Amino acid sequence: MSSCRLTILAALSLFSFSSLFAQSVDVKIADETVKITPTGRFYFDGATYIEDGTDLSNGVAMPDARIGLKAKYKSFDMKVDLGFAGGKVGYKDIFLQYNLNKTSYVRGGHFAEPFGIDHMESSANIKFITANATSFAFSPGRKLGVEYIGWNKYAWVGVGAFADGDSMNNSIEGDDGYSATGRVVFNPLQQEGKIFHIGLAGSYRKADANGLDANGVQKPKVISYGSSLITNVEKRKFIQASISNADYQAKYAVELIGAYGPVYLQAEYFHSNVERKDDLPAYKASGAYAQIGFLAIGGNYTYSSSWARMGTPKPKSLEFALRYNYTDLDNKNSGIKGGRMSDWTFAANYYLNKYIMLRLDYSNISLGNTNPLAAGETINAIQGRLQVVF
């Protein structure tokens, strides 16, 4: 049996065991107590598409399967979260955290940068089966780094420094990029059913290595943006821009969250500017989304102060949500055409209990005439998910 199969078999065995006993245990190590909590998740997705011309991949997928653990020792927290989707081991959250007090900490390791609400939010808790295309295109993903997070009843702040690229395995030769990223939120209303939150995030990112040529000289660096069709079944990127001779990118996001009773609103605007070498013109791109939600069953919306984002509805809640997104990766100044995409997505979510959730999404997606795939087409997608998280 191959090592890959053994890894997957071991992961599934541990996953099954942990799902039955997903509770904290106290472990004695040299007369010291460490509290350990197993964690895990898996998603089963299915999707079908009504195509305008381009043939798409109807079918099913398991977009996320993870096992991990959390450990707590005095003022220290540790988390190790590994993904096994697609038959490959993937690094998720792996970090050591020191809690300065009850409302602030410093953290080092591999985790999401503080930029973009859906990007910082767990995929288990966002209101749709996938994040919006704008967040996919502009959010930075997980990186190796160090950050500070702190909050109170009026504000939340996060700031960190991160390595770029494939720092977990160093498979690309050349100098690593790096970034400085921060997010500041003003949230004077954090009560159940009465929420107001406005925030600003920014990131400066030096372009990452793109390998060495035959003479050992670093190749010109590239920065890329892109998104799939907001689905985990059809994997291809239908908007995509690669900016050659990149020096650095500077981007920002403006965000808004509000809720009154069982109704909530969330919106973000993203803008990015890529400066290039050899006197090449800069590349600029932007995107935005807005979404509303309604708890038909389940009371009022709540807020997570420690993360500055919406709380998870209670078990037995039924939620409906509507989202509009527009992403523009075309830029006349640089002559780069990455395409445009917009969509309306309707979601129905049922929170069966603390661990299991059922989702159903319908999307109407419009693609621009410069898109690398399905240019000028309109696509309708119906997706469903069974989600288990512990």
Tell whether the model's pLDDT for residue 5 goes beyond 60.
no
C-alpha dist (Å) from residue 181 to 133, 141, 252: 21, 12, 10
In a domain, 8, yes or no: no
What domain range includes position 221?
A: 25-389
CA distances from 156 to 34, 97, 218, 283, 304 (A): 29, 18, 40, 31, 11
Whether residue 252 is contained in a domain is answered as yes
Q: What mean pLDDT comes out for the span 222-240?
A: 94
Report, as an integer, the average pLDDT of 279-302: 98
Give the domain CATH number at 341.
2.40.160.10
Residue 193: which pLDDT band, with cuts at 50, 70 and 90?
very high
Nearest to 308 by CA among 98, 122, 117, 131: 117
Residue 361: pLDDT over 80? yes
**In sequence order, what are the beta bridge partners of 390?**
none
Tell me, yes or no, whether 331 lies in a domain.
Answer: yes
Q: Which has the higher per-residue pLDDT, 125 or 168?
A: 125
**pLDDT: which is higher, 52 or 9:** 52
Q: Is 300 or 19 the better-scoring residue by pLDDT?
A: 300
In a domain, 319, yes or no: yes
Tell me what the pLDDT averaged over the chain comes to: 91
Number of domains in the chain: 1
Q: How confident is the model at residue 90 (pLDDT cuts 50, 70, 90)?
A: confident
Residue 379 pLDDT:
96
- pLDDT above 90 (res 214): no
Looking at residue 19, what is its pLDDT?
Answer: 46
Residue 154 burial (CB count, 10 A): 11
- When pLDDT is cut at 50, 70 and 90, the band that residue 51 belongs to is confident
For residue 135, what are the CA distances in angstroms to 20, 48, 383? 34, 23, 19
Do residues 336 and 327 lie in contact, with contact meaning Cβ atoms separated by under 8 Å? no
pLDDT reading at 79 higher than 90: yes
Residue 16 has pLDDT above 90, yes or no: no
Indicate whether 11 belongs to any domain. no
